[in-house]
Amino acid sequence: MTRIDDTFARLKSEGKKAFVAYVMAGDPDFDTSLEIVKSLPGAGVDIIELGAPFTDPMADGPTIQLAGQRALEAGMTMGRTLEMVRAFRAGNTTTPIVLMGYYNPIYSRGVDTFLAEAKEAGVDGLIVVDLPPEEDDELCIPAQKAGLNFIRLATPTTDEKRLPKVLQNTSGFVYYVSITGITGSAEAQAGDVGPEVARIKAQTDLPVIVGFGIKTPDGARNIASVADGAVVGSAIVAQIAEGKSASDVTAFVKSLADGAHSA
């Protein structure tokens, strides 16, 4: 049982859906970013998705691309991202952290070294968007052996033939991408998402969390009502990009979390 498993078990016992918040590590700078991350559990965030900045984030739209650029320009590295996790863990040992990003920074660090460091820092799971199931031996299997959940993305184009392959070595939860496209683009619609979530849940006992295209408390509520929870990223990152204070960002996150939890 990981912290992610424990969190979903607790939420299920409380009859609540999960709210997952994404922020880019180091955006706009290390100290502000850490302050925001530390505030997330108090705002109602059940799981934190921490973006690891990378120079070529091909699955991300402009909002998160720019956040990554700001973080890199502020001196953020994979080492400093793990340092941020350690600093968070000094005051919080229960809220799961999922590191979301791309394989290159992990590969260049060395898989075994990275996994040992991530586990020691307090990372609970990984979402690596550019490693398909055919590459599971590369990182997914070693990560699971190291005690980290490896969370896979399913999309509207993941058909019945492909879905079992996607689910094969997934753990923690399944991240359903509600729209075809990049982060921060079209708005997710519960009417479209519900049948897709049901299709995935027919093939796995894992929770199915829906992200991409959720921008408002109502959106979070509507999507959480047809899934096991909702993820919001670009809308939060946009607040940071506007220069909002950590407390203002936290208040916005709380409104989203309240929406998801009211589903």
pLDDT value at 9 more than 70: yes
Q: Given 49, 124, 136, 228, which residue is catalytic?
A: 49
Categorize the per-residue pLDDT at 59 as very low, low, confident or very high, splitting at 50, 70 and 90.
Answer: confident
Q: Has residue 172 been placed in a domain?
A: yes
pLDDT digits (tens, 9 = 90+) for 12-23: 999 999 999 999
Q: Which two tokens stand for residue 43?
A: 């705002």
Would you call 187 a catalytic residue per the annotation? Answer: no
What was the pLDDT predicted at 188? 74
What was the pLDDT predicted at 17? 97
Q: Has residue 158 been placed in a domain?
A: yes
Q: Give me the CATH number covering residue 243.
A: 3.20.20.70
Q: Has residue 10 been placed in a domain?
A: yes
Would you call 138 a catalytic residue per the annotation? Answer: no
Closest CA relative to residue 152, chosen from 160, 134, 161, 6: 134
What was the pLDDT predicted at 185? 58
Q: Has residue 183 been placed in a domain?
A: yes
Categorize the per-residue pLDDT at 178 as very low, low, confident or very high, splitting at 50, 70 and 90.
Answer: confident
Q: Has residue 58 been placed in a domain?
A: yes
Average pLDDT, the chain: 95
Q: Has residue 263 been placed in a domain?
A: no
Closest CA relative to residue 5, chosen from 40, 39, 47: 47
pLDDT value at 179 more than 80: no
Which amino acid does the sequence have at 165? K
Q: What percent of the chain has pLDDT over 90?
A: 89
Reading phi first (left if > 0) and then psi (alpha if -120 to 50, else beta), residue 98 is in beta
pLDDT digits (tens, 9 = 90+) for 74-97: 999 999 999 999 999 999 999 999
Average pLDDT over residues 29-50: 98
pLDDT value at 57 more than 90: no
pLDDT digits (tens, 9 = 90+) for 180-225: 665 555 677 778 899 999 999 999 999 999 998 899 999 999 999 9
Average pLDDT over residues 90-119: 97
Widest pairwise Cα distance in the chain: 46
CA angle 107, 86, 17 (to 5 degrees): 90
What was the pLDDT predicted at 213? 86
Q: Which two tokens stand for residue 120?
A: 């020691």
Domain, as residue range, for 26: 3-258
Q: Has residue 222 been placed in a domain?
A: yes
Q: Has residue 105 been placed in a domain?
A: yes
Structural domain count of the chain: 1
- The answer for residues whose C-beta is within 8 angstroms of residue 241's C-beta and 6 or more apart is 27, 28, 63, 66, 67, 70
Q: Given 27, 46, 60, 136, which residue is catalytic?
A: 60
| Prediction pTM value | 0.96
